[in-house]
Amino acid sequence: MPVLAIIGAQWGDEGKGKIVDLLAENAHVVARYQGGANAGHEVVVGGESFILHLVPSGILHPGKINIIGNGVVLDPESFEAEVNGLRKRGVKVDGCLFVSDRAHLTLALHKQLDAAREGASEGKKIGSTKRGISPTYMDKAGRVGLRPADLNDADYCKSIIAANLYEKNILFKELYGVKPLSAASVFAEVKRHFAAVKPFLADTTGMIHKFLAQGKNILLEGAQGTLLDIDHGSYPYVTASNATAGGAASGTGLGPTQIGRVIGVCKAYTTRVGEGPFPTEFDAKKSHIVRELGGEYGRTTGRARRCGWLDMVALKHAVMVNGLTELAITKLDVLDTMAEIEICVAYKIGNKTMTRFPASVSELDRAKPVTKKFKGWLSSTKKARSLKQLPTNARTYLKAIEALAGVPVGIVSVGADRTETIFVNKKARDYSF
C-alpha cells in the first residue's frame, strides 16, 4: 500500500515538517490526522521559513492535494489567518486544500476554557499551548462538539451550543470567574467561521480512498509526538489526541492495514516544551547551549524548549507503539561541537533498573538516566549529503542508534534547508513498498 505515515518519536518538535516536506515530493496527497493549531511545523524552502499550524506541510509543493483529516481539531480563525498568510506569500491553496466535514471545530469558548484551566491556581498545569485543543477533544468525547457537517442545520447547531454552554457557563462563572458566553454570540461566531471554512470542506475520507484505489502515494503527517500521545505518552503531561500511528488510521478514515510504512522522526538529542518529567534533561547551562545551537524555541508559542540527551528507553517505546519501520534522525549538526555525547539506555528508579518506558508519571519523574558515552566528531556535518561524507564518530553514533532502536535510519537531516539532508538509500524516499 503506498501510504506512509510520519510520526514524532519524541515529545514533538522533532523536525517532522521538514521530513514531510521532503517526502511530499513523491506524494500525491498529504494529510494531517490529529492535533490542531498547537502544532508549528517549520519548513525552510530556499532560505525562506514557513511555519504551518493546521495546513499540511505538502502545501509548499505545487500540485499536491492537502487534507486536514477528521481527527484534527480545526480552529477556523487560525485556519483563515494561515490560509491568507500563505496566499499573500504566493502559495496556492485554493483547489488543493481540503478540510474534513467531520473535523471538530475549536471555538473561542475552547480557548477561553484552556486558558482558564491552565491559569487556575488549584488546577493541574500541563503547560498547554492554550490553543483550545484539550477542551475541543473533551467536547468531541462528551458529544457536544460541532463539526462542519452540522453547520448547515441551524437548529441542530443551536441545540448543541445550548447543551455545551449549559455546562461551560457554570465552569466559567462559578469556578474560573470568567465571563459566561451567550448562545447567540457562539452561534454568530460559528456562522462567521463557517463562511471561511466552507469552500474547503470535503468528504476527505472518501477522497483518500479514491486516491488509494488509483494507486496514488499518500503521506500522513503527524503532529506533536509519541510521548505526548494521550494513551502512550507521559500522561497526564500529554496532548489530547493520538499522535501515534493508530491515530493516523482513525484520524483519516484509513484502516491500519492500509499504512505500509511508518517513519519515526527523532532528533539526535531530545527536547520538550511545557511541564512534565524529562529523565535525560540537561542542567540549565548545557540546556542553554543546546537551545541556542539548535534554535530550540517553540514555533507556536515562542517558549524556550528544555533540552537533553537522546533517550533510547523512550525511543524504543516509540518504535514499539507505532510499529516504526525506520527512523529519520534530525538536527545531527547541532551536536557538531560536542566533545562527548551520551545516549540514555536505561532508567534507574530507586534501586531498580528499567528499560521499559514507565506508565507511572511519578516513576518517570524519579527516573535517572543510565547512559552510554560516545566520542563527538568536532567537525561540521552540514555539507554531508551521504553517510560516507559524515565524520566516522557521527556514523558510529548513528549506527548505535540503529542498533539500540532495532530499526534502520533512512534519513539524516543536517540543517533546516531541504538540501541539507542525507537519504541513506533510494528506498528512503520511495513509495513502492
Q: Which spans of this chain sit near ligand IMP (rule: CB under 6 A)?
A: 12-13, 38-40, 126-129, 131, 133-134, 223-224, 228, 237, 239-240, 273-274
Per the CB < 8 A criterion, the answer to whether 224 and 38 are in contact is yes
* Alpha helical stretches, state H, 323-380: 361-366
- Strand order of the sheet with strand 421-423? 201-202, 97-100, 65-68, 29-32, 218-221, 3-8, 261-267, 326-330, 409-413, 421-423
Residues facing residue 5 across a β-bridge = 220, 262
With respect to ligand IMP, which residue has the nearer C-beta, 11 or 282? 11
Q: How many CA atoms lie within 13 A of 256 on its CB side?
A: 6
Do residues 200 and 151 lie in contact, with contact meaning Cβ atoms separated by under 8 Å?
Answer: no
Give CA separation, 354 vs 141, 272, 278, in Å. 34, 21, 15
**Cβ proximity to ligand IMP, 30 vs 240, nearer residue:** 240
Is residue 366 packed enough to be buried (19+ CB in 10 Å), middle (13-18) or exposed (0-12)?
middle
Closest CA to 305 of 319, 329, 289: 289
Alpha-carbon distance of 348 to 358, in angstroms, equals 11
C-beta closer to ligand IMP: residue 228 or 263: 228
Q: How far apart are CA 293 and CA 336, in angstroms?
A: 10
341, amino acid identity? I
CA trace torsion 315, 395, 432, 314 (10° rounding): 0
40 contacts: CB under 8 Å, gap ≥ 6:
51, 52, 53, 298, 299, 300
| Amino acid, single-letter form, for residue 9 | A
Residue pair 30/221 in contact by the 8 Å Cβ criterion: yes
Least CB distance to ligand IMP at residue 241 (A) = 8
- Which residues neighbour 335 within 8 Å (Cβ) at sequence distance 6 or greater? 268, 269, 341, 376, 377, 397
Question: In 3D, which of 37, 35, 54, 42 has the Cα closest to residue 17?
Answer: 42
**Residue whose Cβ sits closest to ligand IMP:** 274
For cell 535525560, what's the residue?
280
Q: Which residues are catalytic?
A: 13, 41
Q: Which is nearer to ligand IMP, 241 or 325 (CB)?
A: 241
Q: Nearest 5 degrees, angle CA 141-CA 143-CA 145? A: 90
